[in-house]
Structure 1
């Protein structure tokens, strides 16, 4: 009997092809459920996850389930709800999106499963089985259940939570599930952390990342190093796999995965509402907040963060002979395998998992900079030829298997450029008072104001007598069809040591854009911001009036009228930085530098 499925689909494309691991045949298969973890006897550095697939056809799913073992490191590609054909993803189910305020402290959540609920007899199942039917009514896979203020429950599959919330790289998850935390082969020291090269200091959290890890792993790894609670949670992953291992490798391990930090947290997910929209089954984790705590000092092996280049004796030593890592973007596809290890010195590719949203204020991370670099990059090689790619430990050569680095890009929770810019200005005025003494917004009615919620200055429409092209005439409106709402302009003043700096941002229209995976999402128009100082502060309002008039004719391209400013002015981009603590922090600092402020 077919399983009804009334969700719409969206077109997506993934960089990975997993033909050897997915159901065969010229049919469409939807990834439906993660069903436990196996040790990999063929390539032992790459655990497998048993994934249940249902055939999708004409808006319905097959009652029968096809199980396949896929590399753990590929779960970011094989999201629940993605549809695959001949090893390639082409579509994905559209689920509801929700954001929840939670408490990750033990006691505020519990671990549950259909099997556990049946054993207890009186306990309710994690969710109504008919909502999202599994092959077995007594399914043994664990889920985390969070109690909600609505009286309902947020339910998250443990393997999904582990895959998305334990750091940003798949390499980190591979290490946690493959190697003993302590012992003769210590993952703790040899694969997760590089030697600091300096002494520990009380109250300071210092992490030096190994080469295969990404910057976004640092928050988890810092807690695993300095927070005994996180350390125990991390150690328990491998401990479960070892203690429950089936020597015949027929039964998977159903791991219990707990939140790795304690305290308040935000979680954003895709899934399905139930219980009159008081409860939610999360099938995809989209983002999570960072734990509060001490600032982190992040360093890397072969870091390039230094004020002066290496001396002559260190030239050409860093990465000498190592293969160049290239980023794979769709429509290019690479073959992934979990049944072979990568060759030594083979070609390297970088594959992006779906972005991970860092909700709320990110943890403060300070990148270590040195006065002088120890070494400089040497000549890189193209790497030996590869026809497929693997995320395991290098072993042997001439198999034609390259190395795949797979990770999610952390992106910060955005409220739109205008609000993000204002929030970043307020953040910097509080956290760097030596740089920004005050942040104010301006309107002609209110003057300069420090209220938390800024007001905008609305543009004037062109009058009927003014002769302009149609697209210019409609540009001042947010909706070109109704012409009901005019664009606003955010005008701000930052008082720095010795000068007033003005920043102007134009309100953007909402539009649809396509991600690298081919997914359509909401976005904004792109405009540069304007930053300026004035030779004579008393001309501010006169200049602003002329700017608001002229910006309409150039459709918001501020660089075309920047020369008209009676002072020093420049256009600037809103390019994010890896070490941003809030969205647009780097953009504000970039703007200040444009007018000569030392940041």
Structure 2
């Protein structure tokens, strides 16, 4: 009997095609549920995951027809639960808004459960079939059951947690699932971490990433290296698969995969609420907070990130390796039935963006004094008709390497707050650069706390001769009361103080690059300035507060009036991003570089 499905789908278009695997004839099918692991009979370098599909009939009706497909582990970010497939291509996906939960990742805040486990223990099922109908009422897939403050529960499939929250790259998940952690020549540990080439230091977690790792993998990998809890859970994944996977391919292996750190956490998910809104069944993870912990120092294998270039005649880095192809617009055929050629070109394929919630972990890029290698000449590489994320091996198979990862972004609380947080993050990471940070108001003076105050604008008198738009500018929601303010931040650098001003923005609806309307805010530039004499600060800020109203927030109109040096700056990411910096941090550094003689890195 068809399922009446009240939830909406939206059309999407992708360049990925999983040729042959997701061709359902004339039917369109929805990826409905992740099941267990299978051994991959054609490519030992990554396992398959069984995905259940249901027939998509119309925007409100899901059919009874069910299909099963074995999908490479690294491709699950493309074949997400809720995506609609026809003729090997993704045509749409469930249109759900994310919901954010505050959770406890300590062992007393969650447990494993499943429909099968609940039935075996004579307990109520995690969720009813009326909420989300599965093929089997005693489904054996493991879920993580989190306790919620309201007394409800959040249920997250273990496989979704693994594919989204264990680092950002598909390569990391492939290695963790495929290879034993250590004590073997070809261990997972040796594939994830390059030799450190410098001594360990107390209070610093140092990680040198292998070539195929992405920078966003480093927080998980730092914990896997230094946190025994994370190490134990990571080792267990491959160990359980080795024990439970069926070499005869007759049944899937269901393994438990836990949250990899302990402590408070935030998780943003898409799915359905139930139990009068108290509980939630998640399908897609949108983002997660970073664990609290030691500062992480990140390096890369054969990195050219050094103060001094390598001298002529030094060894070449990755000489002969084919060029990486980026920004592909043609159809990319993904396969899990073969390993990429060692001399093949590579394509970079992006999974859905992953949002880091809350305060991001402090990560500093390790910078050597002297580079040891020079750039090697790239080889042309052989032609490829399809691409695989498996282990490169052999040649002349016509299979290129698919480098799959989820781009990382950060939760925004509005530009003003984001910029203040970025200044604080840089101060914590780079106390040599920003020696102190404080905010200023006329009443409080300079205060060094994480929560700032704004200087409110002065409203115009009723009889002042200004236009309506100018008269409304000092208010956040005209004609309602509530004055707009501006932040004044003082950053003490090695050669003295610099200041950044950010205006408070009104919320507004804006259109994104796809033409969809979403929540946004006013777009203003910021101002960075330095003064000839510090006693000029108060008069200058009083002048700014008066005149910025007439300029309707266009700060560049006032830069020439500053008794010192002042420049406006944009909040778009600079072309030259500084390694290891978050986007807003790079904007802060870019702004400071406008009023300093020394290049800031």
Residue pair 2:151, 2:278 contacting (<8 A) in 1 also: yes
Q: Deviations over 1:387-408 (max 9, x none)?
A: 2111011122222211111111
1:194 & 1:67 partners in 2: Cα distance? 39
SS of structure 2 residue aligned to 1:241: helix
1:384 & 1:450 partners in 2: Cα distance? 58
SS of structure 1 residue aligned to 2:175: helix
SS of structure 1 residue aligned to 2:162: helix
2:185 & 2:251 partners in 1: Cα distance? 26
TM-score (norm 2): 0.89
Q: Deviations over 1:94-133 (max 9, x none)?
A: 2242222222222321111111111112x12111221111
Which residue pairs with 1:357 in the alignment?
355
Which residue pairs with 1:250 in the alignment?
250
SS of structure 2 residue aligned to 1:35: strand
1:44 & 1:358 partners in 2: Cα distance? 32
Which residue pairs with 2:220 in the alignment?
220
Higher relative contact order (CA 8 A, sep 6+): 1
Which residue pairs with 1:454 in the alignment?
453
How far does residue 17 in structure 1 lie from its aligned partner after superposition? 1.8
The question of 1:374 aligning with 2:375 is answered no
1:326 & 1:589 partners in 2: Cα distance? 30
Residue pair 2:110, 2:145 contacting (<8 A) in 1 also: yes
Q: Deviations over 1:209-232 (max 9, x none)?
A: 110111111122222222222122
2:502 & 2:543 partners in 1: Cα distance? 15
Question: 1:118/1:552 Cα in 2 relative to 1: closer, same or farther (>3 Å)?
Answer: same
Question: 1:431/1:399 Cα in 2 relative to 1: closer, same or farther (>3 Å)?
Answer: closer
Question: 1:432/1:345 Cα in 2 relative to 1: closer, same or farther (>3 Å)?
Answer: closer
How far does residue 456 in structure 1 lie from its aligned partner after superposition? 4.8
Residue pair 1:178, 1:238 contacting (<8 A) in 2 also: yes
Which residue pairs with 2:322 in the alignment?
323
1:328 & 1:182 partners in 2: Cα distance? 36
SS of structure 2 residue aligned to 1:168: coil
Question: 1:522/1:355 Cα in 2 relative to 1: closer, same or farther (>3 Å)?
Answer: farther
The question of 1:494 aligning with 2:479 is answered no
Which residue pairs with 1:414 in the alignment?
412
How far does residue 491 in structure 1 lie from its aligned partner after superposition? 3.1
1:387 & 1:463 partners in 2: Cα distance? 71
Question: 1:466/1:12 Cα in 2 relative to 1: closer, same or farther (>3 Å)?
Answer: farther
CA RMSD of aligned residues (A): 3.1
Q: Deviations over 1:41-97 (max 9, x none)?
A: 112212111111122222211122211111111111222112222222232212242
Q: Deviations over 1:273-324 (max 9, x none)?
A: 1111111111111111222222222211111210011111226x11222122
How far does residue 496 in structure 1 lie from its aligned partner after superposition? 4.5
Which residue pairs with 2:109 in the alignment?
108
Q: Deviations over 1:448-498 (max 9, x none)?
A: 666624225347689999798x99998877679x89877543333334556
Residue pair 1:413, 1:583 contacting (<8 A) in 2 also: no
Which residue pairs with 2:10 in the alignment?
10
Which residue pairs with 2:70 in the alignment?
69
Between stretches 386-395 and 376-385, larger displacement belongs to 376-385
2:193 & 2:427 partners in 1: Cα distance? 35
Q: What runs of 5+ residues in structure 1 fail to find an aligned partner? A: none
1:87 & 1:144 partners in 2: Cα distance? 31
Question: 1:440/1:395 Cα in 2 relative to 1: closer, same or farther (>3 Å)?
Answer: closer
Between stretches 222-231 and 387-396, larger displacement belongs to 222-231
SS of structure 2 residue aligned to 1:126: coil
Where in structure 2 are the equivalents of 1:342-491 lying within 5 Å?
A: 342-427=340-425, 436=434, 439-442=437-440, 452-458=451-457, 488-491=485-488
Of 548, 562, 565 in structure 1, the residue corresponding to residue 562 of structure 2 is 565
Question: 1:103/1:506 Cα in 2 relative to 1: closer, same or farther (>3 Å)?
Answer: same
Between stretches 420-429 and 244-253, larger displacement belongs to 420-429
The question of 1:503 aligning with 2:503 is answered no
Q: Deviations over 1:166-195 (max 9, x none)?
A: 111100101111112234343234311112
SS of structure 2 residue aligned to 1:176: helix
